Structure 1
């Protein structure tokens, strides 16, 4: 007999046979429960009820709104157009001294829709966008969405093979590239299918536009600012964007973002964080990421908020921008918080109007110091830390300021939001299964992989995967807690405390995060191998004192010490963005392999870069000389003490 049935029998006897009053029956049941070890659970209920009720209320707000849009078959452009009608002259975006109204963004996007529809693009086809942060970035993909097209949001730091891969994996029929990225695009365009249409944007004159490219600015001058006539070109459940994630398989994966997913993610952030439509939001994050492109710009498109954009994050201008524009909400990632905290104090630290900062990656070690530093004497800065993969269905948020937590799961009613932690192997991240063949849930205090149960066609619980079906398959586990069920595998290790708060611990597989970007180790390994005459190597992330994320470290097989580190540094700089280049290089005589001939990284990662323990030579990338220098015990102590910053 389970515990619930036991209490039911006791209650029935007391009521039917002994005719005890209800208040006394409840008191007796409570006493029995406490005697049988339920006191700790009662304590959890008392301590988490307010949090859970608040979370449930906000979750229901999101669910009801999302279901409403699903029934109406509303898309992102359709929701945006309701705000254009309400306040056409309200400021939508502020950027580099210019204010863009909702009407201006609407007309700009309408012109884009006309240009591409008249060019013969069909609903469902994909166009790549290679451009930096600016209001036009959002207006371009919004216009493409109005025409029923899908936009592949390319990371503008990519070059050569990764850039080519991103365009090809999404099966792009066209590419829009900005003037600042002309060289990057022309470096790969000869390898693209000749049928792909090329659109040059923001070029000052025709002379600088590459041959066979179309001047998008001129086309837009000729296009109508009015909306497309006829039926809507897309549906609520159709694809709208591809947002790229490194994942664990090597080159970036194109995560499918449907109109439904974008609406849910934005609504979830808005309601869970406690935003309101009068907020002005500071968005210095890249618009090709989910954080900036959805959680930031989405507040403007779907809720009518004003967003202040910046081309690139700046420590010097962060708080001054917020003060100048009266921002009440700001975005962050862990690295930006560390940079802001490391900057010299200034009056703007406390004179701003920001009441809330939301994002992900704020380290527990600096959380309280950050809040104290940037809170005013009359207003405490609230941190809303969220967690969720770009493509995933497992999203959580810590909205009550619990230091270090990335979210929570209700201990009272965990089934309301079906996410869980499961046990996985340390080296491969594969789920560990019990004798019944099902996955094993983690208990409080046990680290495990965070998973979200998949429910097909559900507006929140569905998983839409990637452009590559094989990549999608690898992120789904079946027969998780019962036969026939399925779950999205986040690839991240979290840990839950006794109150249900979840804390990020690590990433599994072949990905780590550095300077706010996901780094694919297999991609870096391939580059190093090519530059270093096909030498075996393995790349992994290592923790650096005082820094968020993990810095890259490469163990390279070089028993004869023939590797030219200058050539290695130069070769990597031509192909890899700065955040992906290893900060440390370890020259080893033997590369450890598993029984299946896979590179064993766990031991290397545990040893890190402690030269007092490692017998191999370790080299450190010196930013001043742009070269690798021998990493000595003296440099190791300077790095630990903070004298050397990375």
Structure 2
């Protein structure tokens, strides 16, 4: 009987084989684009995977060893004590000098009663002491609050109070800003430590001269009662998030090390590099990506107080720089400079950063002879980080479609008006197809060195950034608030900033914060702020639509109040005066419509004003044309 059944088995097996072949053919026909893309990008993907593996192994090493940033720095410093770690103007700081100052900071503040978990604000411009101070505080578990030195009045006071800062360390040139905060009732009883020359006295009489007090401090390794660990808080970085005043994003040692290790390996950096940064050290890019590679790998770093387009390449030549950081604004300013012999006389082999516009990318590379541009994407507080390592013009990073399980990022569909995720009938969020714009989200995995989301010091602010039950019950994803597009080859392209935040001059600006300032300055209830595109510039410029039914607004008073309360990048470049703003509850629909109309005075019947210096002037059609055609620069 069994022999009679054999033909049937053969027929069944052949049928299954044919069905499988047919199914594979159908799958290949449907997914042929993905197969083709996977083959085309295989060299890129293999290189990325090898670098990613090194990153993961290094992170596992520091995690298993319960390492901290201070421990890694100490290890490197003791191996090469005389190596120059930091360049600044005419100064050369060796590992040994940095080590001694960090220990002095730790011992002095511990002696003053500061302990693990306390917060101390650092309100300083770029200088070597900046890195030394927060690193020294971290050795005793004190959490530094890295405060934007452009902030003034209430936003600045808010930053000091949001994390209950028990002291403020500042460079004396910023004394006027602190005096203004005192005038509005802030800093009562808060110790102030001024960093000024040894032969000078602090401008604020009550401030403590930090340099003199440190002269007698011990420069030996501090003895701490509580062990400092890998998952402990390192410092706070303020970010606009999506709404309201600046929020203190929690940066743990683990997060900092992830950024430093990932930056070192994913960019293919070497230990003999000299990295150059003119980015502010209160930002994650300059402090974590640049400073992190210096402190954790012993790579030399050249710091500039503030960015200077005319001195950028001169500095690179002066310090033998091989790797430089950028943001889009820096690249735009550099390419706008007249040609110079310095343009190609440097040794820079790689530049990494974000915001280099695809329109100027090829010209930038050609003019300055930069072999490698590594555009990257990331958020200070987020877990969606990626990098473009193969010079793909315009891409902020990539993730092959077939590796989404390894790095679980997704682009999801969101409602354009409300910003809320769109869900299907089964309740799951909808994933975007190739070339379809959507919000970037990243899966949250607690205590994972890459996927964890630490949120803000204010837990209520953290909740709004988490998307729950996205694909299954109980899951959680970080919401980036950014709209990106992903092509068939896995490249991501930045499209827009979602919600109530826009980016201008390399800084995130909260529309709610600007609206609050306008209301406090002029007592106007109906004002909405949004970002508008300006041809030839990065990001979006601020614009405010203000209701003025009785024609009583004094733009000079408004300009003075805005200039005093807001840093230059947050001041609305354009003001639109309307009779009234239609009520929509949240203004979101109205903001969207105003944003689309922009500052085009050929289409907008309302009067539009342009900020020139510290005054608003009527925007004419001629001025509008000059802006659009690039004759008027910002």
- TM-score normalised over the length of structure 2: 0.95
Equivalent residue for 1:260?
A: 254
Q: Which one of the candidate residues 541, 551, 568 is aligned to 1:551?
A: 541
Equivalent residue for 1:298?
A: 292
Counterpart check, 1:363 vs 2:357 = yes
Out of 186-195 and 175-184, give the one that drifted further: 186-195
Residue 561 of structure 1 aligns to a residue whose secondary structure is: coil
Equivalent residue for 1:229?
A: 223
User: Is the Cα–Cα contact under 8 Å of residues 526 and 546 in structure 2 kept in the other structure?
Assistant: yes
Equivalent residue for 2:242?
A: 248
Residue 597 to residue 523, structure 1, CA distance change in 2 (3 Å): closer
Q: CA RMSD in A?
A: 2.2
Q: Which one of the candidate residues 154, 157, 160 is aligned to 2:153?
A: 160
Q: Which one of the candidate residues 344, 350, 361 is aligned to 1:350?
A: 344
Residue 526 of structure 1 aligns to a residue whose secondary structure is: helix
Offset of residue 214 of structure 1? 2.2
Offset of residue 427 of structure 1? 2.5
Q: Which one of the candidate residues 625, 628, 633 is aligned to 1:637?
A: 625
Counterpart check, 1:449 vs 2:443 = no
Residue 576 to residue 38, structure 1, CA distance change in 2 (3 Å): closer
Deviation sequence 1:543-579 (CA, Å, 0-9, x none): 1110111111111101222211111111111111111
1:199-598 maps to which residues of 2 (within 5 A)? 199-204=193-198, 207-229=201-223, 233-375=227-369, 380-594=370-584
Equivalent residue for 1:6?
A: none
Offset of residue 408 of structure 1? 1.0
Distance 1:264 1:641 in 2: 43
Residue 70 to residue 80, structure 1, CA distance change in 2 (3 Å): same
Equivalent residue for 2:3?
A: none
Offset of residue 213 of structure 1? 2.6
Unaligned runs of 5+ in 2: 1-8
Equivalent residue for 1:10?
A: none
Offset of residue 184 of structure 1? 1.2
1:56-95 maps to which residues of 2 (within 5 A)? 56-95=49-88
Offset of residue 196 of structure 1? 3.1
Residue 41 of structure 2 aligns to a residue whose secondary structure is: helix
Residue 365 to residue 487, structure 1, CA distance change in 2 (3 Å): same
Distance 1:242 1:617 in 2: 42
Counterpart check, 1:134 vs 2:127 = yes
Offset of residue 210 of structure 1? 2.6
Deviation sequence 1:202-225 (CA, Å, 0-9, x none): 255564353433221122001011
Residue 35 to residue 95, structure 1, CA distance change in 2 (3 Å): closer
Distance 1:126 1:453 in 2: 30
Offset of residue 126 of structure 1? 0.8
Residue 494 of structure 1 aligns to a residue whose secondary structure is: strand
Out of 55-64 and 595-604, give the one that drifted further: 595-604
User: Is the Cα–Cα contact under 8 Å of residues 410 and 440 in structure 2 kept in the other structure?
Assistant: yes
Residue 543 to residue 259, structure 1, CA distance change in 2 (3 Å): same
Residue 88 to residue 35, structure 1, CA distance change in 2 (3 Å): closer
Distance 1:224 1:459 in 2: 34
Residue 121 of structure 1 aligns to a residue whose secondary structure is: coil
User: Is the Cα–Cα contact under 8 Å of residues 406 and 501 in structure 1 kept in the other structure?
Assistant: yes
Deviation sequence 1:452-504 (CA, Å, 0-9, x none): 10011212111100010000111111001111000011101001111111110
Deviation sequence 1:243-290 (CA, Å, 0-9, x none): 010112211000000000000011111111111111100111000000
Unaligned runs of 5+ in 1: 1-12
Deviation sequence 1:228-251 (CA, Å, 0-9, x none): 135664100000010010112211
Offset of residue 197 of structure 1? 2.5
Distance 1:58 1:464 in 2: 25
Offset of residue 309 of structure 1? 0.5
Distance 2:427 2:13 in 1: 45
Distance 1:196 1:529 in 2: 29
Residue 193 to residue 609, structure 1, CA distance change in 2 (3 Å): closer
User: Is the Cα–Cα contact under 8 Å of residues 541 and 550 in structure 1 kept in the other structure?
Assistant: yes
Distance 1:170 1:596 in 2: 29
Q: How many residues align?
A: 625
Q: Which one of the candidate residues 143, 148, 156 is aligned to 1:150?
A: 143
User: Is the Cα–Cα contact under 8 Å of residues 209 and 215 in structure 1 kept in the other structure?
Assistant: no
Residue 219 to residue 367, structure 1, CA distance change in 2 (3 Å): same
Offset of residue 535 of structure 1? 4.1
Deviation sequence 1:111-148 (CA, Å, 0-9, x none): 00001100111111111001110000000000001111
1:585-624 maps to which residues of 2 (within 5 A)? 585-594=575-584, 600-623=590-613
Equivalent residue for 1:119?
A: 112
User: Is the Cα–Cα contact under 8 Å of residues 398 and 405 in structure 1 kept in the other structure?
Assistant: yes
Distance 1:445 1:230 in 2: 54
User: Is the Cα–Cα contact under 8 Å of residues 169 and 195 in structure 2 kept in the other structure?
Assistant: yes
User: Is the Cα–Cα contact under 8 Å of residues 34 and 488 in structure 2 kept in the other structure?
Assistant: no
Distance 1:38 1:177 in 2: 58
Residue 146 to residue 47, structure 1, CA distance change in 2 (3 Å): same
Residue 127 to residue 595, structure 1, CA distance change in 2 (3 Å): closer
Distance 2:186 2:558 in 1: 28
Deviation sequence 1:384-442 (CA, Å, 0-9, x none): 01111100011111111111111111112211101111111112321111122221111
User: Is the Cα–Cα contact under 8 Å of residues 528 and 591 in structure 2 kept in the other structure?
Assistant: yes
Residue 393 to residue 134, structure 1, CA distance change in 2 (3 Å): same
Equivalent residue for 1:7?
A: none
